[in-house]
């Protein structure tokens, strides 16, 4: 019998975040126990409104807490040009503010972990600001979660001449990210753009979603257009990467990951953007400069993209 993972989701609820909530709710081995909001794909108020809308669509009644509206330092960069200004493609959904617990996202993350140590998994889909604030309350927070899986980071250093997608979640709050990667933990898994960018929801998969006449599938397809408008400029095709859903998939089924490396992760900046990097080159060697020691993070370096895409489509069309 498959074990059910009880998951707290921290999200900057844009299009792929919404798809992730749909995917988790459709998996028989997942239970969403709480959702917290953070800025990123949209402003925080839209993120929490979108949590309420998706929860309503799913009939999901779980605690919701509002989180950070800006990073621990610097200015928020909102990705409205990717997800639409409201985070769900600006389709005019009625999105009233949902009922919230009254505590901050950081306080909720700390409370749940203290009440149920070792029983919950934390899935972080946006900038890591709420986790950074929670670590200021409880520096051992990540040891109290069974696992912490985050969508962010860029993996090890890429082969020379290779260009990666922007590491947006890390770039939006490198200070909080540095605190997370330095903190003690039970298990921390980084699912970065080095692998999420290879996990493509292709035309045939999108057609399967379009052919499914259920409220969840209709919503999943409707919000795709803004996302595809952005990515068609990258690839000349109306397809998208499954960034956040892949992190959820790996939390539930580590078999979706076909290769990984364990080691310290540092936040590195080129003066314009920040990335979370495993301190290894593409061939497994240490970088040729000093770096900060940190506890091992499991960094995913390759995935079975076809199997995950097939599972994602099967769940959303079930």
The pLDDT of residue 226: 87
Task: Pick the closest to residue 175 from 252, 90, 70, 287 (CA basis).
Answer: 70
Q: Per-residue pLDDT averaged across 55-74, rounded?
A: 97
Q: What is the pTM of this model?
A: 0.97
Does position 146 have pLDDT exceeding 70, yes or no?
Answer: yes
194, HSE (Cβ side, Cα atoms, 13 Å): 24
pLDDT tens digit string along 10-39? Answer: 999 999 999 999 999 999 999 999 999 999
Question: Average pLDDT, whole number, for the chain?
Answer: 96
Does position 1 have pLDDT exceeding 80, yes or no?
Answer: no
**Structural domains of the chain, with CATH:** 5-316 (3.90.245.10)
Does position 130 have pLDDT exceeding 80, yes or no?
Answer: yes
pLDDT tens digit string along 204-254? Answer: 999 999 999 999 999 999 999 889 999 999 899 999 999 999 999 999 999
Kindly indicate the confidence band of residue 163, based on its pLDDT and cuts at 50, 70 and 90.
confident
Q: Can you read off the two tokens belonging to residue 5? A: 């993972």
The pLDDT of residue 263: 98
């Amino acid at each position: 019998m498959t074990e059910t993972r009880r998951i707290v989701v921290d999200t900057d609820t844009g299009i792929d975040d919404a798809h992730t909530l749909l995917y988790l709710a459709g998996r028989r081995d997942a239970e969403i126990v709480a959702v917290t909001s953070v800025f990123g794909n949209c402003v925080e108020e839209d993120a929490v409104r979108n949590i309420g809308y998706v929860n309503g669509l799913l009939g999901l009644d779980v605690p919701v807490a509002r989180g950070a509206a800006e990073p621990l330092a610097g200015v928020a960069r909102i990705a409205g040009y990717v997800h639409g200004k409201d985070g769900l493609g600006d389709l005019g959904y009625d999105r009233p503010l949902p009922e919230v617990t009254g505590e901050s996202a950081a306080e909720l993350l700390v409370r749940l972990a203290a009440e149920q140590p070792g029983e919950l998994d934390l899935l972080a889909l946006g900038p890591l600001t709420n986790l950074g604030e929670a670590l200021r309350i409880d520096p051992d927070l990540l040891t109290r979660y069974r696992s912490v899986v985050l969508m962010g980071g860029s993996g090890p250093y890429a082969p020379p001449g290779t260009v990666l997608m922007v590491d947006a979640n890390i770039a939006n709050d490198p200070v909080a990210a540095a605190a997370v990667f330095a903190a003690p933990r039970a298990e921390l898994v980084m699912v970065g753009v080095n692998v999420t960018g290879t996990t493509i929801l292709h035309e045939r998969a999108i057609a399967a979603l379009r052919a499914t006449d259920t409220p969840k599938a209709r919503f999943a397809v409707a919000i795709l257009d803004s996302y595809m408008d952005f990515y068609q400029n990258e690839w000349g095709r109306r397809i998208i990467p499954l960034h956040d859903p892949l992190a959820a998939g790996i939390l539930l089924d580590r078999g979706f990951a076909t290769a990984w490396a364990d080691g310290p992760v540092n936040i590195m900046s080129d003066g314009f953007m920040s990335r979370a990097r495993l301190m290894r080159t593409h061939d497994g060697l240490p970088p040729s400069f000093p770096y900060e020691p940190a506890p091992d993070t499991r960094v995913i370096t390759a995935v079975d993209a076809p199997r995950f895409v097939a599972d994602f489509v099967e769940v959303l069309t079930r």
